[in-house]
Structure 1
């Protein structure tokens, strides 16, 4: 089970976007990177195609997972992730900061 998954809200810990929060759009486990909505934005020149017009496009670039922390479901501050086995034998993720269950 992964500590951070697609759809989780995360806080950026370091870099030019430090303190910003966003939702994970895509995880890249082989490279240990993630795409986060509205974080690590870069401008790229894009060639015109039948589907999209060309020009300078702003999009998210991957950010290393070591620079991300899960946002606590209670107050939105960065927290570490722990695991707990429920009575029915299901393994769930828990926020270490508040002890709150992380859905997903």
Structure 2
């Protein structure tokens, strides 16, 4: 099954103490149905010192959030939206795209265009 949220997407948190915050998805943990969002859901982690590698202490790191508690922000219209899938035939190849249910725009095509402009 294809994931509705992928690494690099911008999402908004819907539930919990971080409700309303937005951030970029750093990592998707598919087996556990969780995502790690940049700048959201910090927890304190006690780390032991390893000589010549890292200092010990208490570090703040982003913890995973359940995928049902976040919603994708459409790169085209800028609103939180549900995600649908379309299968498009390009020659002999079928491609599967995510699309925004509010503005009906293909999300994957928009993000590909944005990446081409940046790079």
Tell whether the structures are fold-level matches, with TM greater than 0.5: yes
Correspondence for 2:104: 99
Which deviates more, 34-43 or 76-85?
A: 76-85
Structure 2 length-normalised TM: 0.80
Shift >3 Å, 4+ stretches? none
State the Cα distance separating 1:56 from its structure 2 match: 1.2
Structure showing greater radius of gyration is 2
Structure 1 unpaired stretches of 5+: none
1:50-91: CA deviation from partner (whole Å, max 9, x where unpaired):
322111101000100000110111343211001112241321
Correspondence for 1:56: 58
Task: Choose between structure 1 and 2: higher helix proportion.
Answer: 2
Structure 2 unpaired stretches of 5+: 112-119
Three-state SS of the structure 2 residue aligned to 1:90 is strand
Three-state SS of the structure 2 residue aligned to 1:30 is helix
**Kindly tell me: are residues 51 and 69 of structure 1, through their superposed partners in 2, closer, same or farther at Cα, counting changes over 3 Å?**
same
Matches for 1:25-36 after TM superposition, within 5 Å: 25-36=26-37
Bigger relative contact order (CA 8 A; separation at least 6): 1
The alignment of Structure 1 onto Structure 2 pairs a total of residues equal to 104
Task: Choose between structure 1 and 2: higher strand proportion.
Answer: 1
